[in-house]
Amino acid sequence: MSREQFGKVASILYLFANELSARAYQNVQQARFISERQRAETALKRANEQINLLTSITRHDINNKLTAMIAYLVLIKDNPNDSECKTYIGKIEQIASTMRNQIEFTKVYQDLGSHEPLWQKIQEILPYQEIPPEIAFKSNVSGLEVYADPMLEKVFQTLLDNSIRHGEKVTMIEVSYVRESSGCTIFWQDNGAGISDQEKTFIFDRGYGKNTGLGLFLAKEILGITGVEIQETGIHGKGARFEIHIPSDMFRIRGSQ
């Protein structure tokens, strides 16, 4: 083979190799795009199911509360001079306040799943600006990104609110994470009063709690959009410890911790 022929063959092989490389890259990008779309569609479907369920439950609850309110109004109307009227009015005010909280909550909840999940840097969405000066805050989540609903930031705001409201004597909060064979776990831990074993089962239920009873429920729902789970594993009297379990395909580490 002459040098000229060799050069032509080499040139053809070079072009062929470049074409194969380009096609391989396109295939990888296409597969990645399809994977992202499938994850987004699954998350949207799960969000719609959760919203439909909550809408049904809320409608039922409000209807029951309206029935009770009407009953108290009838009692007042039939016996306007009854000494119990003041008690009835107080009951009506309580019912109205609960209904208002439910309606306000639905305004927030309706945003759940309204936008596609996205990759979020945990270090950048922690509620630094809301931490009281008397609480020392330490985070060790640099480089960790989680694929979640855009409302993920609200989850950490809720955990901070829980530490402040119910921790009683919190002076330290630490956020960290650990990689596991099944995925990744984020830890939110404080040194406050902690949560009793009896409460651990119910704190994520809708309506349970000392305040509106909706914060931790919403946090659980936000995380659930992309299959992320949360539980409380702290020791009562030694502080609260929330564990956020993230599936292996819903987190990634960028750079070093």
* Whether residues 109 and 217 fall in one domain: no
Task: Tell the burial category of 138 from Cβ atoms under 10 Å away from its Cβ (0-12, 13-18, 19+).
Answer: exposed
Asked if 244 and 146 sit in the same domain, the reply is: yes
Q: Among 85, 116, 147, where does a domain finish?
A: 116
Q: Give the CA angle between residues 111, 115, 121 to the nearest 5°.
A: 105
Q: What is the CATH number of the domain that holds 188?
A: 3.30.565.10
Q: Are residues 70 and 146 in the same domain?
A: no
53, 86, 116 — which closes off a domain?
116
Residues 247 and 124 reside in one and the same domain:
yes
Q: What pTM was estimated for this model as a whole?
A: 0.66
With contact defined as beta carbons under 8 Å apart, do 245 and 229 qualify?
Answer: yes
Query: What pLDDT does residue 152 have?
Result: 92
pLDDT (tens place) for every residue of the chain, 257 residues total: 555 654 555 566 556 556 655 554 455 445 555 566 676 677 677 767 766 666 666 777 778 888 888 888 888 888 888 888 888 888 888 888 877 777 776 766 666 666 788 899 999 999 999 999 999 999 999 999 999 988 899 899 999 989 988 888 899 999 999 999 889 999 999 999 999 888 888 888 877 665 545 678 888 988 988 899 999 999 998 999 999 999 998 999 987 44
141, 175: one domain: yes
177 and 87 in a single domain? The answer is no
Same domain, 234 and 143: yes
Query: Do 3 and 48 reside in the same domain of the chain?
Result: yes
Residues 77 and 197 in one domain: no
Question: Does residue 84 sit in the same domain as residue 142?
Answer: no
> Residue 165 is part of which domain span?
118-253
Domain count, the chain: 2
Q: Which of 116, 147, 172 is the last residue of a domain?
A: 116
- Could you give the strand order of the β-sheet that contains 136-140, starting from the edge strand earlier in sequence? 136-140, 172-180, 183-190, 241-247, 229-232
pLDDT the model gives residue 257: 43
Angle ∠(250,252,254) on CA atoms, nearest 5 = 160
Q: Are 148 and 236 found together in one domain?
A: yes
Q: Measure Cα distances from 99 to 41, 52, 70, 205, 214 in Å.
A: 33, 19, 14, 17, 13
The answer to whether residues 112 and 46 touch, using CB atoms and an 8 Å cutoff, is no
Same domain, 94 and 211: no
